[in-house]
Structure 1
Amino acid sequence: MSFEPKYKKKKKKSFISKAKKFGKSGRFGKGSYISEDEYNYFVRVMELDKSEFPSEEDREMFVSNTFEHTVGQEVLLATNQLSSLAIERLIKKGNDECVIRFMEALGADMRPILNDCYASHVFQTLLKKASQRIKEIPENDSKSREDYIAWIIKVGKFLLNNIEDFMWDQYANQIMRTVLEAASGTCELEPESKNTCSDQKLPKALRTFFKDFCIHVQKMPQLNDMVDSVLTSGFLQSLVKCASKASPKLFKSLAESLEAVLSTKKSKNKIDMASWRLIEAILAGKNEEVNKSILDTFFRGNLKRDASDPELNFCVQRLLENCPNKEQLEEIFEELNSAEAIETIILSKHYGVVRAMGEACKNLSTNQGSFSLSLIGALHCNSPSERVNMVASLILAMKDFEKFEHFKMMNEDENSPITLQGSLLLQSCLHFNKPIKFVQSVLSINAEDLVHIFSDPKGSHVCDAFMTSKFVGEKSREKLCSILKGHMATLACNKFGSRSLDSIWKVSPLKTRQAIVSSLSQHLPKLKGDTFGRFVVTNYGVELFKHHPDDWSAAQGKEMTTKRLFADILGEDEPAKKKMKKK
């Protein structure tokens, strides 16, 4: 019985249809006033921009003609709500001549432009386009490249000289962040040109400017206030992020300056969430000395409390995610890696902290055994020994044994819950060096529940981890396939189940593939009539198998041989074929 929604969701009107409606009522966009003809012209431009052109030359001609229409009106059009949006979209596709003309026009008197709610977005797009073109144009090959570099530096110096005025403005602040990204080479804009030269070095002039900017910010007397405000803290976070990618030495110097300010506030218990977000950005730089210092200054002795705090638990997650070495992880785990601590975190529903602990163990290949035991203890499935087989289901639900059993008793008709953080944690555990307990737990789940897990948008990735982990043996994968043998068609007819089936198929030997296709061939009409099932029929050659099994075997054998020969070229890792030793 299909479910019919009581109320149908109303389809939202597009921006263009709303713009037409406003135009008919005599409202031609907020900001600067433009005539009705001008307004209608840019509405039509936005319509055409979304449509398909017969050729790339036609699109280039359209963009060029539109830019010609703006000559002498650049500032006026950039400060109108509708026309600024149209220009912003076209700048991404415009040629150097048109873009540089706009840069010069808006750069002639920057102060009102930087504070304008519409023109500031056009200005940001120009900076991103300039950064993109610097990467694309070969060095010393074009005057345009030098113009772009000079303009970014000109804008940057103007902002730096007036930083006290622009730092607290919501629009100018965003432009300052974009300038930093452009000067550090981290600015991103969807490249329209196919001939990019992204491997070339960032121009020395931009590197020098970025260094001067960082040094100036470190010496600012307002730094103590900047770390507290959401707006200015966001700017400092952008600066830290750019510095970490541009220069490790510069990043360390900047991080130490900011840490000195933040530690003073910590000692006075005046540190707020904007400052904690800045600490997270510094941690993301993964500098061993800096992260060690932050651990000692802000987290040491308080990790249990912070992990259970509604806001600070996110900082603990970032601390774990960006842990640079085994030694620091062991120091963190001295406070967090116990059944009692993990149980407290789970009870506070801050599952992300436990997930980050598992990921850190996986990434650094340390403390995996002790963490596994602590996690099993926290979920109350360490004794009696039969409960250990429940650990996979408990991790997915992020509930201890008693709560999980109570949920099943109260909701007999419902499937077991699957949480995002639980799915990610189980995936990490399956990639541990000795994941035997988690592997056995997955294999002890009954077929119906496995189908539910593998057909879930979050749970389907558990199947990926199980099939691709180097430490899950071939026999374990074969056993999983045998458990699912009678349910292959159900998986194939589900959006996420079909992708789970694909992950099984990719790493399965010929014998297992034959068993899968044999199971599917019994439900061929059902599969062919299903949106997802028909793709499985085509990709796995189910019809060929049903009518000509020998031809299917020959074709599959040839395909698998080809994949093995070109595995290095394709960049695919072969699954572990080493059998797991029985203990």
Structure 2
Amino acid sequence: MKGKKGNKHEGKPDGRVGRLDESTIGYYRRVSDALKEGFEEEEHRSVFLKNVFNELKDKELEISRNQTASHILEDLLQYADASQIEEFINGITKDLETAVHDRFACHVVQTALSKAGNFIQSGENRSALSELILKISKTFLEFVEDVVMDTYASHVFKTIIEVLSGVKVTEEVSRSRLSRSQQRGKSVEATTDKTGQEQLPEEFAEYLNEFISKIKELPNLSELLLHPVASTVLEALLLVLHSTDETKCQKLSKVVLKRCSNVLQKTESPTQDSKPPLLMVDTIGSHLLEILIRVSSEKEFRKLYKKHFAGCLAPIMLHTIANHIVQTILQKVSTEEQLEMIFDEMYNHFEDLLAVNHIQVLQRLAEACVRVGIKQNEFIEGLLIAFHCYDPKSKQTSCVTLLCSLKTYDVYYGANEEETPKPVVSLPFNIQGSLLLQQMFKFKNCKTIISSFLAVSPDDLVAMACNSCGSHIIDAFLQCAVVGEKKREQFVQKLQGNFMKLCCDKNGSRTIDTMWKFANLKIKFIIIEELAPKDRLLQSDRYGRFIFKNLAVDLFKKKKNEWKELQNREIRKQRMLKELVSDSVEVKEKDGQEEVRKEELITTDASDQIGEIFDGIAKKKKTKSKVLDEEDVLEPKKKKKKK
């Protein structure tokens, strides 16, 4: 099994490996169609699977090497029982070397092994399947150095690690670097999903430890750190150990970091134009370094940051590839001391980050400020300076508009020196700017952002509500903890005359729904009074009909008093639920006697079950306070016509 690759001209006279005749490939296509259509009875499916696996017997490897048939087999194995999986693995691993080095068969082997791991954990055919896994693991153990660097066998190796540990690494992490790079616009999260429930055989842990020892002792480990295939194996192993054995994970991390010290050497006196270390700027090594940061303990993270990052963040966060490492560091930060150190180093480079379009770094910094709870005012101040709208103070009212478009004040308004300058371009919405604003609305003190938001013109607010990025900014404003009823009412009044337009728009209708959830009776009355005369148009629209139903427009037109009672009841339920949950509840744990404070903000509608609970509470307990003043707001009185 030493680095063997599938030979194009091997085994077939026409020079194509895995080629099947038309009747065979037609049979497996019909199998695929039958699986997609499903079966009316379980018995029919069992008979069908039994027949297919009988047909497949002794031809597992041959069929698996065909591109079309291999995908069908991967789907078929999901329906197989434990005995069928055992028989299939026995068949395909008769020539294990060919199976794991073939570009299509290796994925079929992966699926079969993963399914076998699930059965082992559930206790089905445990003994026989465990023996198979151990047999394959023993073979891989002899050729670790070659397997980790092989494009196809490495996938099978990662699956074996998962089965031995009982931990499933997410597909985005286990996928090859080339495959990940093809997923443009999608963030790759290094997470693990524990699938094991029962204790695994002791031999599994022994073999896993042997694999770890073999990898640590590899003479070319430093080269593997930058290898496009081997690095993904190391990442998977680190994540598995992070979930199963933290001590071993930290030991492996130390070995890896020690081996890569020559490509992670920090510049002695770095400047903004200094080049970051090789491991940080390499597309392969940087991703491995991100994983090392994520799995590091609190103590090791402090050491790692102090040794390799402190004092030289500027060139790293401005680099095209290395900036992702800074994002990972910011996600890892958990203490005030760490955040203060990092924030102070980044503060003077906000505008530089905007210039190179590394807005995600600022997003991660904003998230850290929310999570740790410090440096929020300084963050807003630094951002206003970066957008050239900090001084004079009158410019600060335009910060939301500038963040939406990710343009500085000079670019957006041009050289206009008027007291109320007009933009030289229409308001565009940038997804990164939208995400940044959403984080800033979570700050404890975001009065500057709120004032700027309310200063946006009605036309721009309508455009924002009807935009897929902008509508989420409005959601964040409405959910903001420091936004009171008066501010919400002020916002709704600015949209008056445009509610119908919003209701008939895909994103605008979402905005109306969110406004309704957070509205008091006065605000609800403003909205529905404008929509009620246009009920027919509302019902005929694909989006408006949902608003018609959610707002109970028909009930409002026919029985206003009943509509008002319904809204009062819903407001009362939400208010009571909020009061119950927002009270600090102290729970003493039996073992540690620790006190836990639970505070939540209820922003969603009360369900029917919650309604029943509150109806029961209302009968037992009479509330002294009356309904909010807004609940008593009546519709405007019409003037009596003179006789």
**TM-score, normalized by the shorter chain, greater than 0.5:** yes
The aligned counterpart of 2:347 is: 337
The aligned counterpart of 1:249 is: 247
1:402: Cα distance to partner? 0.8
The aligned counterpart of 1:295 is: 305
- Counterpart pick for 2:223 among 222, 225, 242: 225
1:44: Cα distance to partner? 1.4
Task: Give CA-to-partner distance per residue, 1:536-576, whole Å, 9 cap, x none.
Answer: 2122222222222222223334445556677799x984149
Tell me the SS of whatever aligns to 1:187.
Answer: strand
Tell me the SS of whatever aligns to 2:114.
Answer: helix
Tell me the SS of whatever aligns to 2:498.
Answer: helix
- Counterpart pick for 2:34 among 18, 42, 48: 48
Give the whole-Å Cα distance in 2 for the aligned partners of 1:346 and 1:411.
23
The aligned counterpart of 1:156 is: 137
The aligned counterpart of 1:200 is: 197
1:226: Cα distance to partner? 0.3
Tell me the SS of whatever aligns to 2:380.
Answer: helix
The aligned counterpart of 2:9 is: none
The aligned counterpart of 2:474 is: 463
Which moves more between the two structures, 151-160 or 306-315? 151-160
Tell me the SS of whatever aligns to 2:260.
Answer: helix
Task: Give CA-to-partner distance per residue, 1:232-262, whole Å, 9 cap, x none.
Answer: 1222122222222222222211211111122
Show structure 1 runs of 5+ residues with no match.
1-26, 191-196, 579-583
Identity of aligned residues (%): 27
The aligned counterpart of 1:21 is: none
Task: Give CA-to-partner distance per residue, 1:38-59, whole Å, 9 cap, x none.
Answer: 1111111222222354455544
Q: Is the 8 A contact 2:405 2:428 kept in 1?
A: yes
Task: Give CA-to-partner distance per residue, 1:471-528, whole Å, 9 cap, x none.
Answer: 3333323322222232222222222222222222223233333332223223323322
Q: Is the 8 A contact 2:216 2:255 kept in 1?
A: yes
1:97 to 1:379, Cα distance in 2 relative to 1, 3 A: same
1:188: Cα distance to partner? 6.6
- Counterpart pick for 1:36 among 22, 27, 30: 22
Tell me the SS of whatever aligns to 1:485.
Answer: coil
The aligned counterpart of 1:493 is: 504
1:520 to 1:245, Cα distance in 2 relative to 1, 3 A: farther
The aligned counterpart of 1:386 is: 394
- Counterpart pick for 2:93 among 98, 107, 111: 107
Give the whole-Å Cα distance in 2 for the aligned partners of 1:346 and 1:157.
53
TM-score (norm. length: structure 1)? 0.84
The aligned counterpart of 2:536 is: 525
Asked whether 1:395 is paired with 2:398, we answer no
Task: Give CA-to-partner distance per residue, 1:419-439, whole Å, 9 cap, x none.
Answer: 222111111110011111111
Q: Is the 8 A contact 2:82 2:116 kept in 1?
A: no
Tell me the SS of whatever aligns to 1:523.
Answer: helix
Which moves more between the two structures, 51-60 or 151-160? 51-60
Task: Give CA-to-partner distance per residue, 1:247-298, whole Å, 9 cap, x none.
Answer: 2222211211111122222239553332221111112225222322332233
TM-score (norm. length: structure 2)? 0.77
1:88: Cα distance to partner? 0.6
The aligned counterpart of 2:118 is: 132
The aligned counterpart of 1:187 is: 168
Asked whether 1:314 is paired with 2:324, we answer yes
Give the whole-Å Cα distance in 2 for the aligned partners of 1:54 and 1:411.
66
Q: Is the 8 A contact 1:430 1:472 kept in 2?
A: no
- Counterpart pick for 2:71 among 65, 69, 85: 85
Give the whole-Å Cα distance in 1 for the aligned partners of 2:386 and 2:221.
43
Give the whole-Å Cα distance in 1 for the aligned partners of 2:415 and 2:113.
55
Give the whole-Å Cα distance in 2 for the aligned partners of 1:406 and 1:426.
23
Give the whole-Å Cα distance in 1 for the aligned partners of 2:364 and 2:544.
36
The aligned counterpart of 2:489 is: 478
Residue identity opposite 1:115 in structure 2: H
Q: Is the 8 A contact 2:169 2:236 kept in 1?
A: no
Tell me the SS of whatever aligns to 1:108.
Answer: helix
Q: Is the 8 A contact 1:391 1:441 kept in 2?
A: yes
The aligned counterpart of 1:305 is: 315
Give the whole-Å Cα distance in 2 for the aligned partners of 1:189 and 1:29.
36
Task: Give CA-to-partner distance per residue, 1:329-360, whole Å, 9 cap, x none.
Answer: 2221121023xx10111011111111111111
Q: Is the 8 A contact 1:233 1:274 kept in 2?
A: yes
Give the whole-Å Cα distance in 2 for the aligned partners of 1:520 and 1:61.
59
Give the whole-Å Cα distance in 2 for the aligned partners of 1:154 and 1:552.
71
Q: Is the 8 A contact 1:31 1:81 kept in 2?
A: no
Q: Is the 8 A contact 1:63 1:94 kept in 2?
A: yes
Q: Is the 8 A contact 1:286 1:324 kept in 2?
A: no
Structure with higher helix content: 1
Give the whole-Å Cα distance in 2 for the aligned partners of 1:323 and 1:482.
41
1:401: Cα distance to partner? 0.9
Residue identity opposite 1:105 in structure 2: G
1:28 to 1:97, Cα distance in 2 relative to 1, 3 A: farther
Tell me the SS of whatever aligns to 1:170.
Answer: coil
1:201: Cα distance to partner? 4.8
1:407: Cα distance to partner? 11
Task: Give CA-to-partner distance per residue, 1:213-237, whole Å, 9 cap, x none.
Answer: 3333222212111011122122212
1:164 to 1:456, Cα distance in 2 relative to 1, 3 A: same
Q: Is the 8 A contact 1:394 1:400 kept in 2?
A: yes
Give the whole-Å Cα distance in 1 for the aligned partners of 2:264 and 2:474.
44
Give the whole-Å Cα distance in 2 for the aligned partners of 1:327 and 1:52.
58
Residue identity opposite 1:490 in structure 2: K
1:155: Cα distance to partner? 2.9
Give the whole-Å Cα distance in 2 for the aligned partners of 1:493 and 1:366.
41
Task: Give CA-to-partner distance per residue, 1:295-350, whole Å, 9 cap, x none.
Answer: 22332222112222122122222221222322222221121023xx1011101111
Show structure 2 runs of 5+ residues with no match.
1-12, 172-193, 267-276, 582-598, 605-627, 629-643
The aligned counterpart of 1:274 is: 284
- Counterpart pick for 1:325 among 315, 335, 341: 335
Residue identity opposite 1:245 in structure 2: S
Give the whole-Å Cα distance in 2 for the aligned partners of 1:425 and 1:400.
15
- Counterpart pick for 2:547 among 528, 532, 536: 536
Q: Is the 8 A contact 2:82 2:124 kept in 1?
A: no
Residue identity opposite 1:97 in structure 2: S
Tell me the SS of whatever aligns to 2:264.
Answer: helix
Q: Is the 8 A contact 2:253 2:296 kept in 1?
A: no
Aligned length: 537
Residue identity opposite 1:171 in structure 2: Y
- Counterpart pick for 1:71 among 57, 67, 71: 57
The structure whose Rg is larger is 2
1:495 to 1:405, Cα distance in 2 relative to 1, 3 A: same
- Counterpart pick for 1:348 among 356, 361, 379: 356
Residue identity opposite 2:156 in structure 1: I
Tell me the SS of whatever aligns to 2:497.
Answer: helix
Q: Is the 8 A contact 1:308 1:344 kept in 2?
A: yes
1:167: Cα distance to partner? 1.5
Q: Is the 8 A contact 1:392 1:441 kept in 2?
A: yes
